[in-house]
Amino acid sequence: TGEEVIALLTNTEKATYIRDLLHYDEDCAGGLMAKELVKANINWTIRQTIEEIRKQTRAVEKMYSVYVVDDIGRLIGRVSLKKIILADDHTLISDIYDEEVVAVESYLSDVEVAELMSKYDLEAVPVVNIQGQLLGRITIDDIVDVITEQADQERQAMAGISDDVEEDDNVWLLSKSRLPWLIIGMAGGVAGSRFLGLFENLIALVPTMAFFIPLITATGGNVGIQSSSLVVQSLAGGGDDSFSFARFFKSFVVSLINGLVLAVLVFGMNYIFGEELRMVIVVSAALMGVVVVASFLGTITPLILDRFGINPAIASGPFITTANDLIGLAIYFSLAYLLY
Residue 135 belongs to domain with CATH number: 3.10.580.10
Residues 199 and 335 occupy one common structural domain: yes
Mean pLDDT of 275-280: 89
pLDDT value at 1 more than 50: no
Residues 213 and 257 occupy one common structural domain: yes
Q: Could you tell me if residue 279 is inside a domain?
A: yes
pTM of the entire predicted model: 0.62
Residues 37 and 133 occupy one common structural domain: yes
Distance CA 27, CA 30 (A): 8
Confidence of residue 6 (pLDDT cuts 50, 70, 90): very low
Distance CA 278, CA 296 (A): 27
Domain total of the chain: 2
CA quadruple 173, 176, 181, 187: dihedral, nearest 10 = 150
Full residue range of the structural domain in which residue 122 is found: 2-143
Q: Could you tell me if residue 152 is inside a domain?
A: no
| pLDDT tens, residue by residue, 89-117 | 999 999 999 999 999 999 999 888 988 88
Q: Are strands 75-79 and 66-69 parallel, antiparallel or unpaired?
A: antiparallel
Residue 177 belongs to domain with CATH number: 1.10.357.20
Confidence of residue 306 (pLDDT cuts 50, 70, 90): confident
Boundary residue ending a domain (143, 175, 200): 143
Q: Could you tell me if residue 326 is inside a domain?
A: yes
Residues 24 and 133 occupy one common structural domain: yes
Boundary residue ending a domain (86, 114, 143): 143
Boundary residue ending a domain (143, 168, 197): 143
